[in-house]
Structure formats: C-alpha cells, structure tokens
Amino acid sequence: MTEAECEILRIAQEEMAECIQAISKVFRFGIDTEWKGIVNRAHLTEECGDVLAMIHLMVDFGIIDIAGLEEARENKTTKLKKWSHIFGEPNEYS
C-alpha cells in the first residue's frame, strides 16, 4: 500500500470514529439539541459528510471499487428490509 493510501485509511478511521461519537450525542441528548452552538443534527450531517468524502477518496485511489461498494450497499438494504423494522415489519421469508 502507498503512503497516500495508508493516510486515506487512517483519516477514514478517524472520521468514522467521529461519526460514531456524533451518533452517541444524538442518542444521549437528542437530534435537535444544541451543544456549543451546534445542533446535533448539523454535527451528525457534517461528520457523515466527512466519512462520505473519505469513502470517495478510497474509490478514487482504488482502495475499494465502486461496483463492490454499490453491491454491498444493495445487499445491506435487502438484509435490513428482511431483518429490521426500518421499512415496516420484517419479513423472514423475503
């Protein structure tokens, strides 16, 4: 792996941790609660954008490929439709 690829992965790891922290703040204090002048929803949006930027860089640098990424996204959505309540009642026979 090149030094640039390693740096991208390190920064991606850091940004994902910051996104996790933002999600924790939402659960602890609410999505529309303000802290230090920033509403949690806006902070979560910013952190998700940072993660998305790093995902795009991983694609741009060939660390991951866009087709595999899209396939994984579709597979996850299918699993969530089957096993979660996000889209209504889960259907174990889907």
Which residues contact residue 69 at a Cβ distance below 8 angstroms, ignoring those fewer than 6 apart? 55, 59
What Cα–Cα distance (Å) separates residue 77 from each residue in 47, 64, 70, 83?
22, 19, 11, 10
**Residue 46: domain span:** 3-63
Do both 22 and 52 map to the same domain? Answer: yes
pLDDT band at 93 (very low <50, low <70, confident <90, very high): low
**What's the number of domains the chain is made of?**
2
Total-model pTM: 0.88
Q: What pLDDT, in 10s, does the model give residues 7-43? A: 999 999 999 999 999 999 999 999 999 988 999 999 9
Do both 49 and 15 map to the same domain? Answer: yes
